[in-house]
């Protein structure tokens, strides 16, 4: 299962996503958004193709992304997205109890995805079959329960940043 094609392809795309997010500082927003709109759908497709599996080990998996790591990533992304970071989201649990849309942050969403995916990549790189198996099971579970929906919502917001006709003069998107 851990060496099946779908698992290996997911690991490859997940590692590329993490590396791209880690290199975001100093990038131009237009290039960053364009690239994300190519990586995120691939990450979603590959995660949706992960095999069903159950956690084997009784011990929890090690977390690699610290709060400080997360915050550095989030702040770098927030600076990069600047005035285009916030978006309105209706696909959140709190929306059931609210008359107004919930404000979300592209930077925070991308950081949340990064944290889960980076932990997975580091766990998978351990080379220990049980750890690799459990990392796949946990990542798939988190994809279904949280970060898959977050990814789709964030893509909608990034699509708006990329293709909206207002405010794009400063981003210099190539069409």
Residues 125-172 pLDDT 10s? 999 999 999 999 999 999 999 999 999 999 999 999 999 876 555 566
Mean pLDDT (the chain, rounded) = 91
Cα 83 versus chain centre, distance: 20
Which pLDDT score is estimated for 60?
A: 87
**In the chain, where the domains are located:** 5-163
Which pLDDT score is estimated for 108?
A: 98
The whole-angstrom separation of Cα 52 and Cα 136 is 9
Residues 59-75 pLDDT 10s? 889 999 999 999 999 99
Confidence (pTM): 0.90
Entry field: residues in the chain:
175
The more confidently predicted of residues 171 and 83 is: 83
User: Residue 95 — very low, low, confident or very high, per pLDDT cuts 50/70/90?
Assistant: low
Cα 101 versus chain centre, distance: 22
Residue 142: CB atoms within 10 Å: 19
> Could you say which DSSP state residue 28 is in?
-
Contact 166, 172 (CB under 8 A): no
Q: Give the architecture (CATH level 2) of 5-163.
A: Up-down Bundle (1.20)
């Amino acid at each position: 299962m851990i060496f099946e094609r779908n698992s290996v392809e997911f690991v490859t795309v997940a590692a590329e996503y993490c590396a791209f997010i880690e290199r975001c500082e100093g990038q131009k927003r237009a290039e960053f958004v364009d690239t994300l709109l190519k990586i995120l759908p691939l990450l979603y497709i590959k995660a949706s193709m992960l095999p069903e599996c159950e956690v084997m080990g009784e011990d929890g998996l090690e977390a690699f992304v610290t709060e400080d790591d997360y915050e550095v990533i989030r702040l770098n992304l927030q600076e990069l997205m600047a005035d285009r970071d916030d978006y309105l989201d209706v696909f959140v649990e709190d929306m059931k109890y609210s008359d107004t849309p919930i404000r979300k942050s592209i930077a925070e969403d991308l950081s949340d995805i990064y944290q889960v995916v980076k932990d997975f990549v580091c766990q998978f790189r351990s080379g220990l079959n049980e750890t690799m198996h459990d990392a796949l099971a946990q990542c798939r579970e988190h994809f279904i329960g949280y970060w898959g929906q977050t990814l789709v919502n964030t893509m909608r917001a990034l699509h708006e940043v990329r293709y909206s006709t207002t405010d794009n003069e400063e981003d210099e998107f190539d069409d």
